[in-house]
Amino acid sequence: MLTGDIKKPPLLDGYASVFWDKTAPVLIARGHLNILSEDAFAELCDLVARLRDINAAINESGRSLLQGGEKASEKTENKADAKPEERADVEIGVLKESALSDLKRKYSNLLLVYCKQFYLTPLSNRGNFDIPEGKEKDPLEEFLRGKNEK
C-alpha cells in the first residue's frame, strides 16, 4: 500500500510543520498523499511557510510593493509638431516591483501549482466533501415563484 509509512520530514519546522500536521491526514485519507508524493508535499508545506513569512515581512514594512527605479529620459524630438524650443529631455519615473513582491508573486504561483496537484483548491474539492456540482435550488426562490404563480 502506498500510504503505509508516511512521516513528516524532520527538516520541516515552524509553520511548515503545522501545515503538514493539519493537512496531511486529510490528504492521506483521500488518497492524495502517499509515499511517492510525500517529498512534493513537504515542498508545498515549505512554500506555505515561506509565503507566510513573506506576507508578514510585507505587512511589517508597510512599504508599497512597487519601488522607484532608475529614471528614464525621453526626448520630445520625435514629436513632429514640437517647436525647437519645446524639444527637451523629460525625465520619467519608472516603477519596478519590489524584491518582496517579486518573491510573493513567484511563490504564490508555485504554491497554486502544488495545491492543484494535491487537490487543495476550491474547484478541485468539488465532490470531495459532498459539495454539489451544480447550483442548489434556493428554497426562498421556490417559495417566491410559487406565490407569483397563484
pLDDT tens-digit series, residues 46-73? 999 999 999 998 888 876 666 666 655 5
Whether 109 is covered by a domain: the verdict is: yes
Closest CA to 103 of 56, 71, 41: 56
Q: Are residues 89 and 16 in the same domain?
A: no
pLDDT digits (tens, 9 = 90+) for 77-103: 555 566 655 555 555 567 777 888 888
pTM (predicted TM-score):
0.63
Q: Are residues 35 and 52 in the same domain?
A: yes
3-state secondary structure 70-95: CCEEEEHHHCCCCCHHHCCEEEECCE
Tally of domains in the chain:
2
Which grid cell is 130?
459532498
Q: Facing residues of 66 across strands?
A: 97
Range of the domain at 54: 11-63+99-132
Q: Are residues 80 and 49 in the same domain?
A: no
